[in-house]
Chain A
């Protein structure tokens, strides 16, 4: 590209560019939350709440941007390139599509998938008065409903929602810190998104009993239009580079039952010279030993 012809002149610029270049293990995806030309109060509140959930991996654009994502995607792609965000949530409102949210993701700064959802009911963080969990908590995600696997559009929506709300990938997690859960139920053509704060109660055994307290934003969504990526573009975006595959350890194999087998390679052994344990019963008696020697050293017979 044209940008790589100019070498960065400062270390800071170099770090900035290195952060944005394609990598083997990618950064956590950032989301941009954009207000459309005529965004009403509901939609603005939704965007603000989602921003609170997704902090610090989100940018909220406060000004109104007059674009129509389904017709023209260039301005979205421009924003994505400038802020290095690959997820977006665009809110707008008009008579034909009231309380409209377009959730989408990008691949290589071009739009991959876009799904338009209508908000039918919204309860914001402010309306539910209780203590909230700390910012940046990794949420647990639960999808209920067989529609999420049967219908292709719902499947993509599930993938999009997981991508959106997943947060950073961590190797360890503090068990007491599992405080936030997002529950999506798809039933009757509607998708109910509810957020709960998790309370861990004593249960007598090691595993605690769960009690839920309704906390964060709760949305009743209905699916409107979709703009899904073509199959080959989607396949291209799913392609994982070879370096990410876990290295196979040689000479170790696993059974269907979970048994691990190891393989040891030995040199050829002379079995006659093998050192086994000393068993007294098998010990050679002096008579046998002299027979072996061929009578070379005959036993002195005691004279009577």
Chain B
């Protein structure tokens, strides 16, 4: 009797457990996709279209049931995240969210690192580093710590300076106060000019906009891009002679000198080559045979003309043209043997 009762009790307890678990489990055909960083859940199951077509409270109830199921799943996932009590033992339970997974477009383009200013380049070259300066300086006259610059600075108020020494070798009639004021104005103007120049340089470097036909479209192949890059280089006032190359661009091959006639050899270079060239020239000048082989030139010309004619008459009465073409080709062929 006791055994049966114990079994009954255990069965009842298990039934209760299952009941509890059932209250939070949700059956879905397709699993939801979760992005816990954004508190987002996506349900791919097609909703019951027919049921939702009818208007009114039934639709609302259906939507609400669907929402409840989906929210239950999402909250279960969120509750499974590693959580801790913030602010000691009695604080609220706080879960750590992962990074948001759903990719969204940015608000603004990512910041471009600005190119270094002229001073920064110089400092990097020389290895000059910033010296950390104290914000307060001891003023001997006022016997207290004063700012380095600004309101009540250490050197005394420059506008109330009542003495300006005439430096050695300067004109005694000159107004020193006016000179100091003028020099300050010039310094400020020069600083502003340099700042604007640095800005302009950065702006120019950041937005090098090529002309419309030279825009990279993403559908160009390598050769076309190389050609376009070459055109762009040469489109400067000095025809690209002083254009710096890109970091990984190979050096310009020497054929850039532009063909046979504009190739200038260095003056003191290959002595043997120069000697052989001059001797060859003399030999050609002295020989009786003409340099130009007339027969060969004529044959070449004829062949070229035939090729052009063939390309022009493509598709028109091929059979007839074939016979004629063959007849025409014969003198050319024999000419080839006689040449050289």
Contacts and interface: CB of A to CB of B under 8 A. Distances in A.
Nearest to A192: B63
Contacts of B95: 172-175
B41 A142 contact: yes
Contacts of B104: 159, 162-163, 166, 238
B13 interface: no
Interface stretch (B71-79, B247-255, B275-283): B71-79
A212 B43 CA distance: 18
Interface of B: 17, 19-21, 23-24, 37-47, 49, 52-53, 60, 63-64, 66-68, 70-72, 74-76, 78-80, 83, 86, 92-97, 99-100, 102-111, 195-196, 199, 218
A194 interface: yes
Interface string A179-220: 001010111100010101010100111111111101000000
Contacts of A204: 17, 19-21, 23
Contacts of B80: 207
A194 B64 contact: yes
A196 to B, nearest CB: 6
A86 B19 CA distance: 48
Interface stretch (A43-51, A52-60, A144-152, A251-259): A144-152
B263 to A, nearest CB: 44
Across the A-B interface, give the 10 residue pairs with the lowest CB-CB distance, nearest first.
A204-B20, A241-B110, A237-B105, A22-B108, A183-B67, A144-B43, A86-B107, A140-B39, A210-B72, A22-B111
Contacts of A108: 108-109
Interface of A: 4-5, 7, 21-24, 26-27, 29, 86, 105-109, 112, 138-146, 148-149, 158-159, 162-163, 166, 169-178, 181, 183, 185-188, 192, 194, 196, 198, 200, 203-212, 214, 232, 234, 236-241, 246
13 contacts: A21-B111, A107-B106, A138-B39, A139-B39, A142-B42, A171-B97, A175-B79, A175-B93, A175-B94, A203-B23, A208-B75, A214-B64, A234-B105
Given A22-B111, A169-B100, A206-B79, A145 B46 contact: yes
A175 B40 CA distance: 15
A210 B71 contact: yes
B20 A24 contact: no
